[in-house]
């Protein structure tokens, strides 16, 4: 089960199932009250400032596990992946920034012209890593690995900046004493890692203390998860089969994909949806701005930022990718489920009706983006599948793909012999069939000469 949960496809399916379950639970009249009761049920130590609702625990606590894994992924990309090379890293990083700026601009313009609230400008800026990678894994079976690396880097940087937006723009009061304590805890965490101290019984309690202090400081607690993930060493030393970061990610990912993210979706996606509410998504400026930001703003921002960067700087697109691939991924990045729902709750805190409408807009915008991206990725995947089949073709059965032997005379001699053998076989079959037809004709002719009796 743990191995299954480590695959992006399974994690994405669980996220989708949890979101659908939340929508069903919150929209069946007989169950609606129980959904609200469970979501708003409080538990936790009041003395530590952690008497939170179940929904709050999911958004601030469990989601920190998800961002801890995202921080490890980002660190691995920085030290051993595509972000290690500044030229290769420039494109997805700029794409992520443009993919946040343009949706925010689209939302703001929509609300300024429509008389809506600009408070939700950050809602369409985030990309959901789990959903986007799951869709890519299911659809893009033959797509180049460079495309997944581009999307992963883009999404991780996107989510990192989204969390910074939460910390800067959606933090009302900061308790500097608690924030200083969290910073001191992070320093201790880093020093223990540098000293090579091992043992979950050391790091798990320390991580919980850092998380609690970060939460009480007023800064969004998921920042603690990202910070600790970035501190882990992700390059193996001599004698190590795997780095500590890889090992811990291997252990924690099933918890993130199988529990943390699905529970967050379960208690965040429970929006009361009706025909009128769905219609309002495309009529109210706040909700329309979210949908346009996710579907149009993300695609234009990411693709435009990538193209301009490649056009006017030394950064270049991977040789394995084409611009049509980048546009498909830019469309896929419009899936803004997890963090967009979180920012929607923070942006319109105190207005329950508008919060639910914005959540509905996030769901609809993400669904539209996922549908469009699926169509585009299927087209690209079909092309790459044909290329893979051509590259793997080995008609002469010598263990070397034919595409690499076009300049080898011996290859053409082998193929000529194969074709000659096939031609001889076809001639033999044709002669047998001709003989059979001739025999049938003779039998039929003989039958006709004997008083029209049946042969």
Tens-digit pLDDT profile for residues 115-145: 888 989 999 998 887 778 778 877 877 888 7
Find residue 53's DSSP bridge partners.
Answer: 42
In the prediction, which pLDDT does 444 show?
64
446 pLDDT band, cuts 50/70/90, is low
As a whole number, mean pLDDT of residues 218-245 equals: 86
Question: What is the distance between the alpha carbons of residues 30 and 8, in angstroms, rounded to a whole number?
Answer: 34
Backbone angles phi, psi at 318, to 5 degrees: -55, 145
As a whole number, mean pLDDT of residues 256-282 equals: 80
Q: Which of 135, 133, 147, 20 is nearest to 375 (CA)?
A: 135
Q: Which residues contact 120 (CB under 8 A, 6 or more apart)?
A: 107, 111, 286, 289, 290, 343, 344, 347, 348, 358
CA angle (379, 382, 385) in 5-degree steps: 150
As a whole number, mean pLDDT of residues 342-360 equals: 84
Question: What is the distance between the alpha carbons of residues 199 and 298, in angstroms, rounded to a whole number?
Answer: 42
Q: Whole-model pTM?
A: 0.73
Sole residue written with tokens 């996030």 = 362
In the prediction, which pLDDT does 242 show?
85
Question: What is the distance between the alpha carbons of residues 76 and 409, in angstroms, rounded to a whole number?
Answer: 46
Q: How many residues does the chain have?
A: 455
In the prediction, which pLDDT does 455 show?
47
| Cα–Cα separations (whole angstroms), residue 392 to 96, 143, 411, 451 | 35, 15, 15, 63
As a whole number, mean pLDDT of residues 58-83 equals: 82
Residue with the bigger pLDDT between 234 and 152: it is 234
Judge whether residue 450 has pLDDT over 60: no
Question: What is the distance between the alpha carbons of residues 173 and 31, in angstroms, rounded to a whole number?
Answer: 36
Two structure tokens written together for 42: 């409080």
Q: How many CB atoms lie within 10 A of CB 420?
A: 10
Judge whether residue 388 has pLDDT over 80: no
Could you say which DSSP state residue 141 is in?
A: T
398 pLDDT band, cuts 50/70/90, is confident
Question: What is the distance between the alpha carbons of residues 221 and 66, in angstroms, rounded to a whole number?
Answer: 12
In the prediction, which pLDDT does 163 show?
74
Question: What is the distance between the alpha carbons of residues 245 and 233, in angstroms, rounded to a whole number?
Answer: 5
In the prediction, which pLDDT does 305 show?
93
């Amino acid at each position: 089960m743990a191995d299954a949960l480590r695959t992006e496809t399974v994690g994405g399916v669980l996220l989708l199932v949890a979101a659908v379950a939340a929508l069903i639970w919150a929209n069946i009249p007989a169950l609606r009250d129980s959904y609200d009761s469970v979501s708003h049920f409080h538990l936790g130590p009041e003395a530590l400032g952690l008497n939170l609702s179940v929904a709050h625990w999911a958004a601030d606590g469990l989601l920190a596990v998800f961002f801890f894994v995202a921080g490890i992924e980002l660190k691995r990309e920085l030290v051993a992946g595509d972000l290690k090379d500044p030229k290769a890293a420039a494109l997805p990083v700029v794409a992520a920034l443009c993919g946040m700026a343009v949706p925010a601009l689209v939302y703001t313009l929509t609300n300024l012209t429509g008389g809506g609230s600009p408070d939700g400008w950050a809602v369409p800026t985030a990309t959901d890593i789990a959903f986007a990678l799951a869709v890519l894994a299911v659809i893009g079976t033959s797509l180049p690995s460079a495309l997944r690396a581009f999307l992963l880097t883009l999404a991780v940087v996107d989510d990192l900046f989204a969390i910074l937006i939460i910390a800067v723009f959606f933090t009302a009061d900061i308790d500097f004493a608690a924030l200083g304590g969290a910073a001191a805890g992070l320093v201790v965490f880093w020093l223990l890692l540098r000293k090579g101290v091992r043992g979950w019984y050391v790091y798990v309690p320390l991580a919980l203390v850092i998380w609690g202090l970060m939460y009480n400081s007023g800064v969004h607690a998921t920042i603690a998860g990202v910070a600790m993930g970035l501190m882990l060493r992700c390059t193996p030393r001599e004698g190590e089969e795997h780095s500590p970061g890889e090992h811990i990610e291997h252990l924690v990912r099933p918890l993130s994909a199988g529990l943390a993210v699905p529970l967050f979706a379960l208690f965040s996606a429970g929006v009361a949806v009706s025909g009128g509410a769905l219609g309002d998504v495309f009529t109210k400026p706040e909700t329309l701005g979210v949908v346009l930001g996710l579907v149009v703003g993300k695609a234009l921002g990411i693709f435009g930022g990538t193209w301009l960067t490649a056009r006017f700087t030394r950064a270049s697109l991977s040789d394995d990718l084409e611009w049509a691939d980048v546009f498909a991924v830019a469309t896929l990045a419009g899936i803004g489920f997890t963090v967009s729902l979180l920012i929607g709750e923070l942006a319109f805190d105190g207005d329950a009706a508008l919060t639910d409408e914005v959540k509905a807009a996030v769901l609809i915008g993400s669904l539209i983006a996922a549908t469009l991206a699926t169509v585009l990725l299927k087209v690209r995947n079909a092309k790459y599948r044909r290329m893979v089949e051509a590259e793997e073709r080995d008609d002469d059965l010598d263990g070397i793909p034919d595409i690499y032997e076009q300049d080898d005379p011996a290859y053409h001699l082998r193929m000529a012999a194969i074709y000659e053998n096939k031609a001889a076989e076809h001639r033999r079959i044709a002669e047998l069939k001709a003989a059979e037809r001739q025999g049938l004709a003779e039998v039929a002719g003989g039958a006709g000469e004997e008083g029209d009796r049946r042969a």
